């Protein structure tokens, strides 16, 4: 199969989606991303070539020429999704949604046999659904069979409350999603990070440079200490509560400064997931926010996945952004499994 099918990953980041395909024995030919700092982890872990390019300026022939001759071409990607998130709806100058049109342009001009697109659920509502519908029109015009739905990642073993819009398209027939395997139980916080050694805020474990937690201010240290397991700022004494949370508009943000629950899912990992005040990112017991290692494990990266170049200085904000932006590896594997099953059924004689 590795010689028959080839994958190119657009907006590849550090390679979460590609690694899912690699685990399913697909040959990932290349990844393309505008962020050059993604090159080391992508290439190191996926035995694939990284191209530092702005896809909005890249000719489609460049992408098409990456595919070896006589292979079934699989084009996958997660266009930057900040424009579609609920958080960014207030920003009128956010033009990142245009990258989905870039994705559509490349599909229309190269017509790979298989396409997969992953994004946030709110894409279906953004601009009254126009952006998604325009993307679907490109696929329809080029005679793809399309299947898309909102997927609960936790039903496939991703230990987060993470829902994503997944689209699969084929020149052969409709691609069916593989059935969820974790409907009756979820992978819990304890299962994922319970084995890691304890660290303090501001500390890096000597045997694992990624097991590093942000240093808390004295006030935030008091706040996390006052937060019970599964609790949040509503459990604090009055003198610790922020003024914004005392207002009516701030009372709905109950998860910020919260602790995770051992026997529950983690929240969705974001690009600020190691910051205590950015969501329910407090460790269930230790008085700190989660470490980079813990965030990577919640994104289902293997512990031996090399996330940074050891010859360079490690940047916590950059790594946090890379981890939060990634497609969870297990979700990438679900996409790859669905495509593999489809190809065995419908492309074996093509």
Q: Which residues are catalytic?
A: 81
Contact 188, 159 (CB under 8 A): yes
With a CB cutoff of 8 Å and minimum separation 6, the contacts of 80 are 11, 96, 99
With a CB cutoff of 8 Å and minimum separation 6, the contacts of 302 are 19, 329
- Residue 165 C-beta-side C-alpha neighbours within 13 Å: 16
Tell me the three-class secondary structure of 179-227, residue by residue.
Answer: CCCCCCCCCCHHHHHCCCCCCCCCCEECCEEEEECCCCCHHHHHHHHCC
Among 299, 262, 261, 257, smallest CA distance to 275 is for 257
With a CB cutoff of 8 Å and minimum separation 6, the contacts of 225 are 287
Among 303, 292, 299, smallest CA distance to 331 is for 299
Contact 110, 43 (CB under 8 A): no
Structure tokens at 95: 């033009």
Q: Is beta strand 5-10 parallel, antiparallel or unpaired with respect to 204-205?
A: unpaired
DSSP 170: E
Contact 291, 274 (CB under 8 A): yes
With a CB cutoff of 8 Å and minimum separation 6, the contacts of 203 are 212, 213
- Whole-angstrom Cα Rg for the chain: 21
- Residue 52 C-beta-side C-alpha neighbours within 13 Å: 6
Q: How far apart are the first and last CA of the chain?
A: 14
Structure tokens at 20: 């899912």
Position of tokens 């008085």?
A: 287
Contact 153, 162 (CB under 8 A): yes
């Amino acid at each position: 199969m590795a010689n028959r099918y080839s994958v190119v990953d657009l907006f590849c980041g550090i390679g979460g989606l590609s690694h899912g395909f690699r685990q399913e024995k697909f040959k990932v030919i290349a990844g393309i991303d505008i962020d050059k700092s993604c090159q080391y982890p992508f290439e190191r872990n996926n035995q694939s070539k990284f191209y530092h390019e702005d896809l909005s300026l890249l000719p489609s022939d460049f992408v098409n020429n990456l595919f070896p001759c006589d292979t079934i071409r699989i084009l996958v990607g997660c266009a930057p999704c900040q424009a579609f998130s609920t958080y960014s709806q207030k920003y009128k100058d956010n033009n990142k949604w245009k990258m989905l049109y870039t994705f559509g342009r490349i599909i229309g001009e190269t017509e790979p046999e298989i396409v997969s697109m992953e994004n946030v659920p709110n894409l279906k509502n953004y601009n009254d659904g126009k952006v998604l519908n325009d993307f679907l029109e490109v696929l329809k015009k080029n005679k793809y069979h399309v299947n898309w739905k909102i997927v609960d990642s936790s039903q496939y073993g991703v230990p987060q409350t993470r829902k994503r819009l997944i689209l699969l398209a084929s020149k052969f027939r409709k691609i069916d999603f593989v059935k969820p395997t974790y409907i009756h139980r979820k992978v819990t916080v304890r299962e994922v990070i319970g084995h890691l050694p304890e660290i303090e805020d501001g500390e890096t474990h000597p045997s694992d440079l990624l097991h590093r937690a942000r240093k808390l201010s004295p006030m935030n240290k008091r706040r996390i200490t006052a937060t019970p397991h599964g609790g949040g700022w509503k459990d604090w004494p009055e003198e610790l509560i922020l003024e914004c949370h005392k207002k009516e508009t701030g009372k709905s943000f109950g998860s910020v400064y919260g602790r995770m629950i051992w026997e529950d899912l983690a929240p969705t990992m974001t690009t600020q997931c190691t910051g205590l005040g950015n969501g329910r990112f407090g460790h269930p017991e230790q008085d700190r926010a989660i470490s980079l290692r813990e965030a990577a494990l919640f994104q289902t990266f293997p512990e031996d996945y090399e996330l940074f170049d050891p010859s360079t200085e490690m940047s916590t904000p950059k790594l946090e952004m890379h981890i939060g932006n990634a497609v969870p590896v297990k979700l990438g594997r679900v996409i790859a499994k669905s495509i593999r099953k489809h190809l065995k059924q419908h492309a074996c004689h093509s």
